[in-house]
Structure 1
Amino acid sequence: MEADMVDIRKFDDHPHTRLPWLDAYHHFNFGPHRHVGRNGWGSLLVWNDDTIDPHTGFDLHGHRDMEIITYVREGAITHKDHLGNEGRTDAGDVQVMSAGSGIQHAEHNRENEATRIFQIWIAPSEAGGTPQWDQARFPREDRSGDLVALASGQGHDGALPIRADAAVYGATLKAGDSITHTLGEGRYAYLVPAKGDVLVNGERISAREGAALKDVSDIRVEVAGDAAAEILLADVPA
């Protein structure tokens, strides 16, 4: 694949929000940030890289008409919502919230250490619907050398369901590993290493940077160097 088919989003170029309890980097425009060319990627609208201080978090607030996938990189996040759902999601695991017609929720780090998450927002296929929340364990060793669907609206076995024609995959890779993902016609992909460096169609991407792809048939990911890597990949419609 030609190098110009991979749009690399360097970490130092991410919009940044710093609060007393939160250190957040935004792959796309979020809140007051309005950078040219950063208004999402297809139906992927938000990819936030959040570090939440111990015993702090997001107090009760609302969303609607959004599929919100939270991947816990380190620590744990505790969810509570107005529907009575409550749960703790550990590092390597995933929670999904279909906001639907409206949901009030809080997300807190109840741990004694910082929690680090990726929060991913995808536009739903249709507005409205009953709001829902769920979580699931995804042991990192179970996705060694293989892309595993973590959240999907495409019927992937074992994935948390979302209300969008989209999927978020995860893989852990050791030195020498490579994987290939086939991207359908008209689809958009966004790949972020949670740790380690990888080559994406020949272009080097470092941890917490982003690779935006479209108009390619295959996405080949290889570990760059001797250190293991962990990646997330979102495959979404335009």
Structure 2
Amino acid sequence: MTDTKTRIEVRPFESLGAANHGWLDAHHHFSFADYYDPACMNWGAIRVWNDDIIQPQSGFPPHPHADMEIVTYVRTGAITHKDSLGNEGRTEAGDVQVMSAGSGIRHAEYNLENEATTLFQIWIMPNRTGGSPSWGAKPFPKDSRTGAWQVLASGMEGDSDALPIRTNARVVGATIKAGESLSYEVGAGRSAYLVPATGAIEIDGHHANARDGVAIKEGHITVKAIEDAEIVLVDSE
């Protein structure tokens, strides 16, 4: 049996890379922009997991991406998307948008609300480079994932209700009531990264607070909510 002391690593929020630009307060689970840590370049196919607070009436002006699957999970507020393909959309708290950058796309993401928007932006490396870029969004009511994992975005066979991504990975979410537990199986040769958006949890005896990162190697895990918790997990090769 694999020792959970070496299979599960908690990365406290306070230890993450950070940059406060005024309009944007960003925390980086992995090396990004001016934050560089050779020990935290990626986890499996996950290249970026940014925890962003975007102030009202501000945001990211148009900029390019290529060859990356970019998943945005909105925690509070809303984000408004525009891109070079002519797509426009507003994604609200609890909902998800996905951009497959493919051969290249320019996009802008703005908080046009009168309150701060908080979100996770997750970049996952694709199975293949190139291809036509695309964008999509979908509502995922939180009550539909109370006490159960819901697949939000996936490139895995059988996940037809999820937003599609071009990688052998799965993004799942759950809400867990205090005192209740959920199990998850990380398959052989795979890894997972889990972040509580809210609430404190324990994973096989390892404590994690809201916005901490938990890096998990293959095997079975049990997530117990110490407080009511909202969870996002990415399972990848």
TM-score by length of 1: 0.96
Structure 1's consecutive aligned runs of 4 or more residues displaced over 2 angstroms after TM superposition are 1-4
The equivalent of 1:160 in structure 2 is: 163
Query: SS at 1:187's partner residue?
Result: strand
Structure 1 match to 2:219 = 217
Distance 1:98 1:79 in 2: 14
Any idea what the Cα deviations from partners look like across 1:86-107, whole Å, max 9, x if unmatched?
Answer: 0000000000000000000000
Cα distance, 1:42 vs. partner? 1.1
Output aligned runs, 1:56-205, within 5 Å: 56-155=58-157, 156-205=159-208
Q: What letter is aligned with 1:49?
A: D
Q: 1:12 — aligned with what?
A: 14
> How far is the alpha carbon of 1:33 from its aligned partner?
1.0
1:8-44 deviation per Cα after TM superposition (whole angstroms, max 9, x unaligned)? 1111110001102100000000012112411010110
Query: 2:41 — aligned with what?
Result: 39
Letter of the 2:46 counterpart:
L
TM-superposed CA distance for 1:175, in Å, is: 1.4
Q: Does 1:228 align with 2:228?
A: yes
Q: CA deviation at 1:2?
A: 2.4
Aligned residue pair count: 234
The alignment's TM-score, normalised by the length of structure 2, stands at 0.97
Paired with 2:152 and 2:135, the residues of 1 have a C-alpha distance of 14
* In 2, Cα distance between equivalents of 1:48 and 1:197: 19
Cα RMSD for the two superposed structures: 0.9
- What amino acid does structure 1 have at the position aligned with 2:21? L
Paired residue secondary structure (2:189): coil
Tell me if the contact between 1:152 and 1:160 (Cα under 8 Å) persists in the aligned partners: yes
User: Contact (CA 8 Å) 1:79, 1:106: kept in 2 or not?
Assistant: yes
Gaps of 5+ in 2: none
Could you say what secondary structure the match of 2:128 adopts? coil
**Amino acid in the other structure paired with 1:158:** D
SS at the partner of 1:183? Answer: strand
CA contact (8 A) 1:179 1:220 kept: yes
Check conservation: 1:3, 1:201, Cα contact below 8 A. Answer: no
Secondary structure of 1:172's counterpart equals: strand
Pick the aligned partner of 2:51 from 49, 52, 59: 49
**Per-residue deviation at 1:145?**
0.4
Rounded to whole Å, the distance in 2 between the matches of 1:62 and 1:2 is: 40
TM-superposed CA distance for 1:200, in Å, is 1.1
SS of 2:187's equivalent in the other structure is: coil
Give the counterpart letter for 2:235 in structure 1.
Answer: D
- Consecutive unaligned residues of structure 1, counting only runs of 5 or more, are none
Greater alpha carbon shift after TM alignment, 106-115 vs 151-160: 151-160
Q: Secondary structure at the match of 1:141?
A: helix
Whether contact under 8 Å (1:195, 1:230) holds in the other structure is: yes
Q: Map Cα deviations across residues 102-144 of structure 1 (whole Å, 9 max, x no partner).
A: 0000000000000000000000000000000000000000000
